[in-house]
Each structure stands twice: as C-alpha cells, then as structure tokens.
Amino acid sequence: MLENSVPLGNSANGYFIKTDRFKTTYISYNFYLPIEKEKAAGFALLPFILTTCSKEYPDFSKLNFKLNKLYSASLSASAEKVGDYQLLKIGISVIDDKYALDGEELILKSAKLLNSLVFEPLAENGAFYTTDVEREKRKAIEHIRGEIAEKRLYARRRLIEEMFKDDVYGIPKCGTEEQVAKITPESLFSAWQEMISRAALSVNVISSSLPQNVFDDVKSRLSLIDRSNAITVKTSSPTRPLYAAKRVKEYMDITQGKLVMGFSADIDENEKASAAFTVMCDIFGGGPYSRLFTNVREKQSLCYYCSSSVEKRKGYLIVDSGVEAKNAKKAESEILRQLEIMKNGNFTDFEFESSKISIINALNGYGDHQEAIDAWYTVKSSSKNMISPEDYAIQISKVDRQSVINAAKTVKLHTVFNLCPKEVK
C-alpha cells in the first residue's frame, strides 16, 4: 500500500498510502513527543483545541462553514501513547477531487486547511484565548472522569500505573485531572511551540492518487521553524521482569470485580519474532477458540469475560477479566495454568490454526477503513519498519508451533491488580 515517502525536514516525513477502495482521501498529522509527567496533559489537549479554531477560522461556526464548503469534510483529533511517546493526531477526511463539481481541488484545499489549523492557531501575545482553553480543559476532565466511571478501562489503567510506577509509560496518556486543571493559556501555547519545533512528524495521505504539491506546503511551513532539536523516535525501554509479582488491591462501590494481570515479555522487534508473539497471545486469550475463553470463562465459569492483549513496543501482555470476588483467586490460578499449557506446547492444532486464520482475516480487513490504515502506518513509521498489513499477514501464516512456545516461555507475571467490591473487605 505504501506508494512513496517524502522527506519534509528534520525528523519529518510525508507518506502516500495508495488505495482505490474509497471515495475519500484522509490526511493526518502525527506528532511524536517523549512522555513527560509535567507536559503530558498539555500536549494531549493540543489536537483538540487546534481542530476547533485558528487565526483564519476564529470560531467553530466559521470553521464549520469552511468544512461544509469542502463537501462536508470532517476533522478528527486524538492523543495516545505509543511506547514511551505521546502520539498527537490531527486528521481531515474529504471526498476525492474526481467527485467534485467543476474539477475543484478539494484535497489540496483540505490540506491547506489542516496546515492553517496546525501552524496558525488562534492565539495572541504568546497565549491561547482563555475561553478556548477552559472549554477544552472541561472536556478533557470529563473524558478522564468517564474513564474512571468505566471500571474495565479504569482497572487496566491502574494496572499500567502500578506496573510502570518508575517509568514514563505509567503516566496517563491525557495526564491527570489535577494536571489538566493547571493548564494555562500561556503554558498551552508553549506546548504548541514545542510540538511544532521538537516533535517527530509523519504526514499520511491515504488516497487513490496523490495531488501534485500536497506535501509542499507542509515542507515550506516546517522550513520556517527551527527544528534543529527535533527528536528521533527510538525503541522504547522494555518491561523488566520482577523477581516476585507485585499485588495491588483496591476497593470501590461496584458489584463486579476486575482482575487484571500484567506480564513482562521478551518481544523482539524482528517481524518474524513479533508475528510469533501475536499468534501466541491470540491462542492464549484472543477469540472464542482461545484458552482463556474456552477454559476459564466457558468450562469453569470463573469470570464474565477473560481476554489477553499485547503491547509489543513496551514488551508486556495483559490479561483482563471481570470476576466475582469469591472467584478471583481461582481465576488467577487458572489463568496462570493456561499460560503454563502454552509454554509446554499443549495447545491444540485447532487453536493454533484458528488463531492464525483469525489474525490474517483481521489484517486483511485493515484495508476496509481509512482510519485503520492510517493507524497502522502511523505506528509503523515510528519504528521505521513500513511493512504492510498484507505482508505482515504473510509473516503470520509462516509462524510455527515452536516459535509460539518460545514466545510463551518469555512471559512472566509482573503485577496483579484486583478491583474489589467494598463489601468484601
């Protein structure tokens, strides 16, 4: 899918991902910055304030009018964690030029709009406007509180905080409520200045064709900024195994408990080794054919849900489950027993083949959604390994049983977080 890449400046690149499956073009700016405790909340707020107004479009009504003139183009914004980095994403989706009346150059116009939002924010005297900042702070705090209200998300977040207490990865992706409250119009403007001058940047264009000069405006704007200190995204620090697993228990006014188990894992960035770990994790706790689903949930009814996921950039695996308090210890023991089964290679051929088929189908499905394609190549650009989903599917098809067993043997229990109902104290 990746057609070509274009250098845009120091630590900045443009990527054209060609696909004929859509009638729209999606363009995204992806800024990578190291996670820092005192800066995380401010950085996370930037994509959202930048997609609501700019000097050229000083309020949302004017911006919305412009989007409507671009045949109802739509903006998107997000802040995520990718290894030891924050990923700040700003994107726009617009219909392809060939569907516009009178040959209007919608893609170039949308790219210019995105550039104006990113590089010309609505600010004065080194500060964003107070009303805009306070509006976005309120929304950010509501988002943080919403995650706390969703206990499954909360339990996973707390596990990561405990696992990475002495690591930047333990910092919440949007900061804490207290950190958001401290953001000022001046500090947010300083964060924007740091983002455009210091962040590693990838600009993705996902379309059936690349309009001439679509990257030129970006390159021209970046040339006016001192990016001599722009970062290079490096391999994130791995999750170190513990001699003895850490255990944390917390009580809340809930009816269903949450048992979340974090494991360190030795995951090589080599795609072959990565593919083996992907298959291992899926057999262990992926689909309805997995060990955790069929044994812990279905046969023994020890939990309401039980699944595993892996973060290869940090080298850890999470098993997350909803349990009755009385079943928590049994569920933990059975999860660990299923992991030993994986290490001993006692999973079935059906589980092995079902997992590979499921993963390959999921990878082949990436091409069905522009945002999924964008997310795939955004992460791959940070690792400088621009393998396509289709090529990775080929790697998955070549995974053998022994490489899955070898991957499982590197998995070690690190931290157990148990969210319990108050009445079980």
Q: How many domains does the chain contain in total? A: 2
Domain end residue (candidates: 157, 188, 223): 223
Same structural domain for residues 187 and 284?
no
Helix (H, G, I), strand (E, B) or coil at 175: coil
Q: Is residue 238 part of a domain?
A: no
Same structural domain for residues 346 and 380?
yes
Q: What is the pLDDT of residues 174-230, one digit of tens each?
A: 999 999 999 999 999 999 999 999 999 999 999 998 887 889 999 999 999 999 999
Say whether pLDDT at 157 is over 90.
Answer: yes
Q: Is residue 234 part of a domain?
A: no
Q: What is the pLDDT of residues 351-396, one digit of tens each?
A: 999 999 999 999 999 989 999 999 999 988 777 677 899 999 999 9
Domain range enclosing 306 = 246-424
Say whether pLDDT at 107 is over 70.
Answer: yes
Q: What is the pLDDT of residues 250-282, one digit of tens each?
A: 999 888 999 999 999 998 766 777 899 999 999
Same structural domain for residues 199 and 290?
no
Same structural domain for residues 191 and 271?
no
Q: Is residue 120 part of a domain?
A: yes
Q: What is the pLDDT of residues 165-182, one digit of tens each?
A: 999 999 999 999 999 999
Q: Is residue 163 part of a domain?
A: yes
Q: Is residue 393 part of a domain?
A: yes
CATH code assigned at 255: 3.30.830.10
**Beta bridge mates, 248:** 417
Domain end residue (candidates: 166, 191, 223): 223
Can you give the pLDDT at residue 1?
Answer: 67
Domain end residue (candidates: 191, 223, 255): 223
Same structural domain for residues 208 and 311?
no
First to last CA, the chain: 55
How far, in Å, CA of 279 to CA of 351, rounded? 10
How far, in Å, CA of 371 to CA of 73, rounded? 15
Q: Is residue 184 part of a domain?
A: yes
Q: In terms of C-beta density within 10 A (0-12 exposed, 13-18 middle, 19 or more buried), how is residue 324 classed?
A: middle
Same structural domain for residues 105 and 206?
yes
- Region class of 71: left (phi > 0), else alpha (psi between -120 and 50), else beta: left
Same structural domain for residues 66 and 117?
yes
The per-residue pLDDT of the chain, averaged, comes to 93
Helix (H, G, I), strand (E, B) or coil at 122: coil
Same structural domain for residues 151 and 254?
no
Which is nearest to 329 in space by CA: 229, 234, 252, 259?
259
Same structural domain for residues 96 and 195?
yes
Contact by Cβ (8 Å): 157, 167: no
Look up residue 181 and give its two tokens: 């409250």
Same structural domain for residues 277 and 395?
yes
| CA angle (322 as vertex; 319, 327 as ends), nearest 5 | 100
Q: Is residue 132 part of a domain?
A: yes
Measure Cα distances from 360 to 115, 165, 221, 374, 389 in Å. 36, 35, 40, 18, 9
Same structural domain for residues 8 and 83?
yes
Task: Compute how many other C-beta atoms are within 10 angstroms of the C-beta atom of residue 343.
Answer: 16
DSSP letters for 61-79: HHHHHHHHHTTS-EEEEEE
Q: Is residue 237 part of a domain?
A: no
Which is nearest to 175 in space by CA: 260, 238, 86?
86
Same structural domain for residues 191 and 301?
no
